[in-house]
Amino acid sequence: MNTLQGELGVGEGSGSASRIRWRQAGPPWYWLALVVIPVFGVAGDILGESSVSVAGTSAGAYGGLVGLAIGYFTWMFFYRRIAVKLFRRRFKRRGQPLVLPIRLEVRDDALIYDLGGVHQTIDWSCVTDLFPTKGYWVFLAQASPVFAPVRLFADAEAERSFVAAGLDRMTPAARQRSSKAVALAGGNVRPGR
């Protein structure tokens, strides 16, 4: 069976694609993040260099790099959580449900994607990639992600079969860009990222 059905929460896949996070959070938050991340990085840099100096080593530059990394990842962790929360709040205010029924069907002529009241028919020539990310298989169709939550597959064989069916209909170039999907379909990796 080449159909996947279940529910998808609003904002659920936000950690999977930076472009989606930008759309969910809205331009003001996105631009604020571009300004705030370097500020957190500089603060982390100062903290990192200070802590290394206090430890009595001469590796101040390494402390700075560690501090920059800590600042960046800390901000990204909080930014993502805040962005999804704000997006869900706006979605609810508009009278929309926060959990939507999802249905994906792999047909010979197209990928059918139903999410809530939105129905899309995606020609296979528009699908450029199929890849796993954070609990989902994502079909990239003209830069728009189509999520297939791994949790909705009945078992590992259903997941493998669905991925293989999608790959069989994609162009050779798209299959070549989908190496992890090809590995799963060929039985070379275990399903369920």
* pLDDT single digits (tens) 63-104: 666 666 776 777 777 777 787 788 888 888 889 888 889 999
Same domain, 72 and 103: no
Mean pLDDT in the chain? 78
181 and 109, same structural domain?
Answer: yes
Q: Is residue 84 located within the same domain as residue 136?
A: no
Single out the residue in 93, 121, 151 at which a domain terminates.
93
Residue with tokens 């560690």: 66
Q: Establish if 18 belongs to a structural domain.
A: yes
In a domain, 62, yes or no: yes
- Sheet of 136-141, strands arranged across: 127-133, 136-141, 144-149
pLDDT given at position 23: 37
Range of lowest pLDDT (26-30, 46-50, 118-122): 26-30
Domain count, the chain: 2
Assess whether 84 and 134 both reside in one domain. Answer: no
Task: Give the domain range for residue 36.
Answer: 14-93
Q: What is the spatial order of strands in the sheet that 118-123 belongs to?
A: 3-9, 99-106, 110-115, 118-123
Q: Same domain, yes or no, for 82 and 110?
A: no
What number is the average pLDDT over the span 36-58?
62
| 20 — pLDDT class (breaks 50, 70, 90) | very low
Among 172, 129, 136, smallest CA distance to 152 is for 136
Same domain, 138 and 87: no
Same domain assignment for residues 104 and 151:
yes
Residue 191 predicted with pLDDT over 50? yes
Where a domain ends, among 43, 64, 93? 93
pLDDT 10s digits, 120-130 = 999 999 998 88
| pLDDT score at 36 | 67
Give the residue with greater pLDDT, 144 vs 36.
144
> In this structure, is residue 149 part of a structural domain?
yes
Q: What's the predicted TM-score (pTM) here?
A: 0.66
* Domain-embedded: residue 190: no
Query: Taking the alpha carbons of 150, 155, 160, 166 in that order, is the dihedral positive or negative?
Result: negative
Q: Characterise 118 by phi-psi region: left (phi > 0), alpha (psi -120 to 50), beta (else).
A: beta
Q: Of 40, 70, 93, which closes a domain?
A: 93
